[in-house]
Structure 1
């Protein structure tokens, strides 16, 4: 454990999570500033968050894995993909980076545009229960995208994982902004809440407690689901569609075999 903490690679990874979350929060919240000359649109904010996460995942993913989200880090911990020590350092770095990013934006933004710094809150008569379900769905589809697009066991082309993840974040914001301002990320909610000293909203309970726990439990199921559809080594499954024949066998069959198969 001590050897891991003292390694240069580990320290670089932790710093990368801090820096990535700082930049993500700065650009994401910055796109939501209420400038008197031009108020931001939902599409603008959604694209800013999505482009930021996609860019950072591409740039810093090779260094730390590009989590940039305590909920994703916890999900990976539950999925046994990272150690408890690394998860703890990552979450601390992400929360610190979020505070730093929100603080930098607070210092740079004019008072008349700063507003509440896009602190998450319940909008349009959304109840706390509705907010919990919405945020869980939004963040689960993000986790689903991350786990699927970065699954090393996949043999089919997956394209660019960073692009897929960025689009997933954009998709979530296009829907979630109307309900909660859209978080999908406890650090994104934590940073501006600290800077603006606004922990009184019910939405913080959703982001700080329910979302990470709920997502981690969903991840256990997601991981087992993905593993269940991966053929064992040396085994190949051939789908045989209706109306076709495979080596004289009727349609509507899935033929599994190990080794070689010869049709005579």
Structure 2
């Protein structure tokens, strides 16, 4: 009974009802490439979605008196835009680096490919994924980004787990920058419910603040189970290495051959 309960634990891929696609020692180079491609798509998508929302909010909310000469953005607006891109990149790379490396940029991919830090085939596969993700970064549940960050920084254990609260807090911060202007960026049904009780007023659209976050949590959890199922650790090995330990090699021999 205890063995069965352990097997069907929620911490296992697909709750233990489906075992890993392959044993970690026999995962193929193709599987590793596909997992990395999925991570790069999701990461690029999350990064640019947050950055785009923060950028447009900064411009739309900039007062007329705050614009610079010749209709250019004021210094304040430029700072907000920069924060949107910089913090969005920080939290999404931190979330996804152990799956794909957290490149999110064809120029970065090219640089790492020509210097031999990632295999040529991997770089060739990541280019179109990053471009497609940039084109579709127009809508996603903000809660999905927040939950994915929690799962990869706190639920998954690594050398930086002890500072996961910093990453989680920064993720919430950038999600608020991206979403407050458009939706209120609750990301938390309890946060939405409390003020309604205190104010004795439930908006007709209050249900959105339950359905949105809950669906976002399911989306993030689904992808988390997906990468666990396909042994994401083999897609980009050595990411937790400090350079001098046994985890220092970047790719397995199978990936090098791929």
Question: TM-score normalised by the shorter chain: which range applies?
Answer: 0.3 to 0.5
Q: TM-score by structure 2 length?
A: 0.37
Please identify which structure carries the higher strand content.
1
Q: TM-score by structure 1 length?
A: 0.36
The structure showing larger relative contact order (alpha-carbon pairs under 8 Å, at least 6 residues apart) is: 2
Please identify which structure carries the higher helix content.
2
